[in-house]
Amino acid sequence: MMFQDVRAVYFDLDDTLCGYWDAAKAALRETFELHPIPGYTTDEMTLHWAAAFRVFGADLKASGWYEQYCRTGEPTRNEQMRLTLERVGIADATLTKALGDTYARIRDERLTLFPDALEVLDVLREKGYPMGLITNGPADIQRQEAQTLGIESYFNPILIEGEMGFGKPIPEVFARALAAHSLEPHQTLMVGNSYKHDILPAIEAGWRTAWIRKPSDIPPSATGDAKPEELPAGSPAPDVEIRDLKEILPLLGL
Ligand SMILES: [Mg+2]
């Protein structure tokens, strides 16, 4: 049994337990359908949003937005919409805010757990495994997501980038998670969809790792030919790659 020593399981949230990218893509489409931009199709506006994101979202820390972003998702979300409109020659603060608000509302409405998630969380809870959540993103958005999905009560601790002021892959995040359960690193399993943010730092901390990889794991800001993240050449492999969260249960002997 691969994970026989594991005594606690930590999960990433977005695109590990729930389909955040799918919710974001649906919300973008619906936002530009509800607020049509004259002369541009919904698809064209979504591509403009993606192009703006690839510049703006790439380095929030260097651009001075990071502190605000940690507290709340609204300022960067609206700035992202302002930059999108700027690309099509529109400067309109009211429309900018309407687009940002609509996008946030619909994204939350469309957010759902993956079909395999609840069953796995229920089994682990029933078997007495402590579970934690380690998630990057603004404090208010990440709390809202956990509440919308109804999964807060499964996890202690819930470690959110926005609340800590730093996030994965910084080693301190994993040190905090480990300290919460007085366990050795090899007794802790990290389950996540991002090699760079979830898996590599957990391997470097001495944790066990399960990399969940789904074909849908492509962000809305990606270019049209983008593929899901691959294991970088020369990087250490996770203990296991999975397609479905249920695959971890037999590895734990459950
Ligand atoms: Mg994720």
CATH number, domain containing residue 85: 1.10.150
169 is in which domain, residue-wise?
8-18+112-251
Q: What is the pLDDT of residues 115-164, one digit of tens each?
A: 999 999 999 999 999 999 999 999 999 999 999 999 999 999 999 999 99
Beta strands at 8-11 and 158-160: parallel, antiparallel or unpaired: unpaired
Q: What is the pLDDT of residues 68-126, one digit of tens each?
A: 999 999 999 999 999 999 999 999 999 999 999 999 999 999 999 999 999 999 999 99
pLDDT of residue 120: 98
pLDDT of residue 224: 86
Distance 89 CA to ligand 1 centre (A): 34
Q: Which of 47, 78, 110 is the last residue of a domain?
A: 110
Handedness of CA 149, 13, 154, 210 (dihedral sign): positive
pLDDT of residue 1: 82
**pLDDT tier at 53 (50, 70, 90 boundaries)?**
very high
Q: What is the pLDDT of residues 170-216, one digit of tens each?
A: 999 999 999 999 899 999 999 999 999 999 999 999 999 999 999 88
Distance 40 CA to ligand 1 centre (A): 31
Q: Based on the structure, what is the number of domains in the chain?
A: 2
Is a pLDDT exceeding 90 seen at residue 16?
yes
164 with 92, same domain: the answer is no
Is pTM beyond 0.85? Reply is yes
Q: Residue 58 is which amino acid? A: A
In this structure, how many other beta carbons lie within 10 angstroms of the beta carbon of residue 117?
Answer: 21
Is a pLDDT exceeding 90 seen at residue 62?
no
Distance 58 CA to ligand 1 centre (A): 16
139 with 62, same domain: the answer is no
14 with 25, same domain: the answer is no
124 with 106, same domain: the answer is no
Q: Which of 110, 125, 160 is the last residue of a domain?
A: 110
138 with 122, same domain: the answer is yes
Distance 202 CA to ligand 1 centre (A): 14
Distance 191 CA to ligand 1 centre (A): 10
Distance 209 CA to ligand 1 centre (A): 14
CATH number at residue 158: 3.40.50.1000
38 with 77, same domain: the answer is yes
**pLDDT tier at 54 (50, 70, 90 boundaries)?**
very high
164 with 191, same domain: the answer is yes
pLDDT of residue 213: 97
Distance 88 CA to ligand 1 centre (A): 31
pLDDT of residue 63: 87
247 with 125, same domain: the answer is yes
130 with 238, same domain: the answer is yes
In this structure, how many other beta carbons lie within 10 angstroms of the beta carbon of residue 159?
Answer: 21
Is a pLDDT exceeding 90 seen at residue 59?
no
Distance 193 CA to ligand 1 centre (A): 5
pLDDT of residue 25: 97
Q: What is the percentage of the chain residues whose pLDDT exceeds 90?
A: 94
Q: Which of 81, 110, 139 is the last residue of a domain?
A: 110
Distance 20 CA to ligand 1 centre (A): 8
- Scanning the chain, the segments in alpha helix (DSSP H) are 20-34, 42-56, 66-71, 74-87, 93-110, 117-126, 139-149, 161-164, 171-179, 200-204, 248-251
